[in-house]
Amino acid sequence: MHLNAEILERPAQAEAQSPAQAASTMRERAYAPARSEAPSAEVDGSSAARGSESHARSEVPRAEVEAPTSAENSESRARSEVPTSSQQPLIWFDGNFISGDTPEAPLTTHAMHYGTAVFEGIRSYATADGGAAVFRLPEHMERMRKGAQMFGIDFDVERASEATLATLRANGHRDAYIRPLTWMGTGTIGLDVDPLTQHLMIATLAKVVHLGGARTRLTVSPWKRNPATSLPALKLSGAYVNSILAKREAKQRGFDEALFTDDKGYVVECTGANVFMVKNGAITSVDHRDALPGITRDTMIELSGAQSREVTLHELLDADEVFVCGTAAEATAIAVLDRREFGDNPVTRELAALYARVVRGEESRYASWLTPV
Ligand SMILES: Cc1ncc(COP(=O)(O)O)c(C=O)c1O
CB-CB contact of 164 with 134 (8 Å)? yes
Q: How many CA atoms lie within 13 A of 333 on its CB side?
A: 19
Kindly indicate the confidence band of residue 122, based on its pLDDT and cuts at 50, 70 and 90: very high
* Of 68-77, 89-98, 201-210, 216-225, the least confident: 68-77
Q: Find the mean pLDDT for residues 101-121.
A: 94
pLDDT for residue 32 is more than 60: no
CB atoms within 10 A of CB 256: 20
- With 0.85 as the threshold, say if the pTM is over it: no
Q: Find the mean pLDDT for residues 71-76.
A: 34
pLDDT for residue 4 is more than 60: no
pLDDT (0 to 100) of residue 63: 29
- Write the residue with the smallest CA distance to atom 5 of ligand 1: 273
Instruction: Between 243 and 12, name the one with better pLDDT.
Output: 243
pLDDT (0 to 100) of residue 117: 98
**Percentage of the chain exceeding pLDDT 70:** 75
Distance 272 CA to ligand 1 centre (A): 5
* CB burial of residue 29 (10 Å; 0-12, 13-18, 19+): buried
pLDDT for residue 45 is more than 90: no
pLDDT for residue 200 is more than 60: yes
Distance 53 CA to ligand 1 centre (A): 36
User: In angstroms, rounded to a whole number, what is the distance separating the alpha carbons of residues 105 and 136?
Assistant: 29
pLDDT (0 to 100) of residue 213: 59
* Residue range 221-242, pLDDT digits in tens: 999 999 999 999 999 999 999 9
Q: Find the mean pLDDT for residues 178-187.
A: 98
Distance 57 CA to ligand 1 centre (A): 37
Q: Find the mean pLDDT for residues 56-72.
A: 30
User: In angstroms, rounded to a whole number, what is the distance separating the alpha carbons of residues 239 and 241?
Assistant: 5
pLDDT for residue 20 is more than 60: no
Distance 187 CA to ligand 1 centre (A): 31
For the Cβ of 273 lying below 6 angstroms from any atom of ligand 1, the answer is yes
Distance 108 CA to ligand 1 centre (A): 29
For the Cβ of 286 lying below 6 angstroms from any atom of ligand 1, the answer is no
User: In angstroms, rounded to a whole number, what is the distance separating the alpha carbons of residues 190 and 292?
Assistant: 29
- Write the residue with the smallest CA distance to atom 13 of ligand 1: 272
The residues facing 217 across adjacent strands are 336
Q: Find the mean pLDDT for residues 359-364.
A: 96
pLDDT (0 to 100) of residue 227: 98
pLDDT for residue 42 is more than 90: no
In the predicted model, what is the mean pLDDT of the chain?
A: 81
Q: Find the mean pLDDT for residues 274-278.
A: 98
- Write the residue with the smallest CA distance to atom 1 of ligand 1: 272
Kindly indicate the confidence band of residue 201, based on its pLDDT and cuts at 50, 70 and 90: very high
pLDDT (0 to 100) of residue 22: 37
Q: Where are the beta strands (DSSP E) in the chain?
A: 90-93, 96-99, 117-119, 122-126, 132-135, 176-184, 198-205, 216-220, 257-261, 267-270, 274-279, 282-286, 307-309, 321-326, 330-337, 340-341, 370-372
Residue in 263, 266, 273 with CA at minimum distance from that of residue 243: 273
CB-CB contact of 168 with 206 (8 Å)? no
User: In angstroms, rounded to a whole number, what is the distance separating the alpha carbons of residues 306 and 281?
Assistant: 10
What are the structural domains, with CATH classification, of the chain? Answer: 19-205 (3.30.470.10), 216-342 (3.20.10.10)
CB-CB contact of 218 with 334 (8 Å)? yes
pLDDT (0 to 100) of residue 211: 62
Instruction: Between 335 and 43, name the one with better pLDDT.
Output: 335
pLDDT for residue 265 is more than 90: yes
What is the DSSP annotation of 283-325?
EEEE--TTS---HHHHHHHHHH--EEE--BHHHHHH-SEEEEE
User: In angstroms, rounded to a whole number, what is the distance separating the alpha carbons of residues 111 and 126?
Assistant: 33
* Residue range 339-354, pLDDT digits in tens: 999 999 999 999 999 9
pLDDT for residue 294 is more than 80: yes
